[in-house]
Structure 1
């Protein structure tokens, strides 16, 4: 499955994360850009969480922009799943 449109989920409110999905170029793989005030401390964990979700949904060739404002793991998972579902959904679904 691949992203066919740009989609977002989340917000820039405190303790949330804004996930933006863009279709990637063919064979570009999973590209994640993380912006977070706690990137030094938790960046690797956030990136692994997002990549794990993308992989579990069998999605490839996608660009993800994540703007974290202190979101917990379950919030990151929920926002990522919803954004990916929106990006992969066809208009007739």
Structure 2
């Protein structure tokens, strides 16, 4: 999917996260994570975000994640929603289907 505009998904409530995604000016994938549980789970949060973007075919974007202790399934859902909004997609087309 091609990220054509800035979008957001999620909240800053406890056990949720706010995902912001926007087009990359240099066609790279840049992920920034801020988390209340960063010391323990930064690598896992990045992996869930990276894997979800890969499944959706996103190779170029600037992604900012502000996590407040969200579970993996919530992280994945918020990234999916932000990507769909930013790309204008009506349904998800998963990777190699």
Is TM > 0.5 for Structure 1 vs Structure 2? yes
Q: Unaligned regions of 5+ residues in structure 2, if any?
A: 90-97
- 1:43 matched residue in structure 2: 42
Distance 1:85 1:43 in 2: 24
- 1:13 matched residue in structure 2: 13
Q: Unaligned regions of 5+ residues in structure 1, if any?
A: none
Distance 1:74 1:41 in 2: 18
Distance 1:33 1:64 in 2: 6
Quote the offset at 1:24 in angstroms. Answer: 0.6
Number of equivalences: 89
SS in 1 for 2:66: strand
Distance 1:15 1:88 in 2: 26
* TM-score scaled by length of structure 1: 0.91
- 2:93 matched residue in structure 1: none
* Equivalent residues in 2 for 1:1-93, closer than 5 Å: 1-28=1-28, 30-89=29-88
* TM-score scaled by length of structure 2: 0.87
